[in-house]
Amino acid sequence: MPVTDAKLYGERIAALVARFSGVPPLWARYPRVHPLDIHWRMGGGEDYKCLFNVWVTAQRWNEDDRIAYLRRWDPPYSWLEWAAWFLWPEDFVDVESEVSAERWSQLDALGFGSQRDWRRCFDVDPDEYPCADDVSTGWLKDGAGMI
């Protein structure tokens, strides 16, 4: 019988929820790893991304719940495109979809940052990542408390 993702990650998700009242987002677990880094496609980063996706898919959140989650975890500017995907998944049914000008304006109005902030911090040379102001108050120091 194949192991389901829920069974594979269930205990770890439960431990994270008990410790943090939810599963921390990717940037909190691995501070200062660029969203496009290969880290997210192999090894520990890929595993955590899968765990996070299993947990978040099981949530029955509306937009306000998603906004509250992001406010709690304070996405760095380089993760703002991901934040748009998270807030408005219905906008991204096609993998080629881009964040619309309206959604960038909404992110900025919500206080997360602008498209200009994202572009400036996302499009940096890997050796210069992250920008000095591309930070998050939600980062977990050295993966503290992670399972």
Q: Distance between CA atoms of 114 and 110, rounded to whole angstroms?
A: 10
CB 30 within 8 A of CB 45: yes
Which pLDDT score is estimated for 146? Answer: 60
Instruction: Tell me: pLDDT of 12 over 90.
Output: yes
pLDDT tens string 89-140: 999 988 788 999 999 999 999 999 999 999 999 999 988 999 999 999 999 8
What is the C-alpha separation between 64 and 70, in angstroms, rounded?
Answer: 10
What's the pTM?
A: 0.90
Structure confidence at residue 27 (pLDDT): 96
What average pLDDT does the segment 14-33 reach? 95
Nearest to 27 by CA among 81, 76, 85, 67: 76
Structural domain of residue 18, as residue ranges?
5-143
Give the number of domains in the chain. Answer: 1
